[in-house]
Amino acid sequence: MNFREEWTIRCRVMNMKNDKFWVGICCLLIHLMMPTDIFGKYTADFLTLGIGARAVAMGGAATATTDDVFAIYWNPAALGQHEQHQFGLMHATLNGLSAHNFIGYSHPLKKRGAIGIAWLRVGVDDIPITGIPVTSRPVGPTNRPKVIGTTSHTDNAAVLAGGWKLLSHSRFSFRLGGALKLLYIDSYQSTNAIGGGGDFGILLTADKPAVSLGVHMTDILSTKLYWNTPPEVAGGVPHTETLAPRVKVGIASTHRLPPMGSRLTLACDVFTQHGLELHAGAEYMLFDVIALRMGVEGQNGITRLRRLTVGIGMHLRFVNGATAVLDYAFANHPELGGSHRMSFQVGF
């Protein structure tokens, strides 16, 4: 075989590989943009409530701005920036009804990235169960309902994530990340569901100007939840629900302001949850210690609404390189009232 023949064969092989790659990318994008009507629109909706007071205070615009342990939730590619061990906690009250909690840890991998693990729980506890003393008699003055016990409803997610720096230049860097999640829902009378899925993230950052672009694709293989409830028809299969694939694209820019050593970060996300949703926010950091934040979050659920978010944070850095961050956020809902969130994280 001469050189020309060998080169022709190699080119054909390379073209076949490139064709397969682009076909795979196109299929993934078509799958992600598929109309959500064929999926359960509100299945495991607790996964869309947001994590961390900083991100919530900025209207949920965190795909390109997250740089801490909460990246496990917002964009696992951002874990590729971590050079410290980080531990984070969050507690929130959702409209005075549910408790929303998060705990996470990220472990650096020799400046090449990091892996993280987290647990997320949203639950309503101590729900009263009522009954009547004599079930064979109708309700009346001598047979009134009373509380006979309590129950709870909890939504849980365990997440294992990783982010890696693939390309680094003096002015920009490129990172990829992914996450595997296990979902478990526990409800009344031992009714429960279990399922699993995967997410994928991309983060591109530039130094001059200080701009970042993030892409977070969730449930890329259409996560399924399997319930233990009896089949709807005899001999049928148990009920299942599917989480629709979704894409969030975010962009952020940071500007140094000479007075008092401050900086301003502006961020905007577009989310394909129930149609296009817009999330936008701003953060003003003073002396690299005090942070003031505000944002607006769009939601296209049963009704379309916009809600305002605000927050404050304190960032402390110690001489040994350790860090401590305490953040607070308030998100107002025009119909359900407000919710408060507190998050805390340490780096070492």
Q: Give the pLDDT means over successive 10-residue stretches in the chain (348 positions).
A: 40 42 40 42 80 94 93 95 93 81 94 93 85 83 84 92 86 92 89 92 90 94 85 76 89 87 92 82 93 87 74 93 95 77 94
Q: What pLDDT does residue 329 have?
A: 96
Q: What pLDDT does residue 264 have?
A: 94
Q: What pLDDT does residue 35 have?
A: 42
Q: What pLDDT does residue 117 have?
A: 97
Nearest Cα to 70, choosing from 201, 262, 208, 184?
201
Query: Which position has the token pair 């892996």?
Result: 115
CB 108 within 8 Å of CB 116: no
Query: Which position has the token pair 């956020």?
Result: 329
Within 8 A by CB and 6+ apart from 106, the residues are 69, 71, 72, 79, 82, 85, 86, 114, 115, 116
Q: Which tokens hold the place of 217?
A: 């694709």
Q: What pLDDT does residue 146 have?
A: 85
**CA-CA distance, 116 to 103, in Å (whole number)?**
11
Q: What pLDDT does residue 114 have?
A: 95
Q: What is the CA radius of gyration of the chain?
A: 24
Q: What pLDDT does residue 331 have?
A: 87
Query: Which position has the token pair 């301003």?
Result: 264
**CA-CA distance, 237 to 216, in Å (whole number)?**
33
Indicate the pTM of the whole model: 0.80
Q: What pLDDT does residue 41 have?
A: 63
**CA-CA distance, 306 to 49, in Å (whole number)?**
14
Q: Which residues pair with 187 in a beta bridge?
A: none
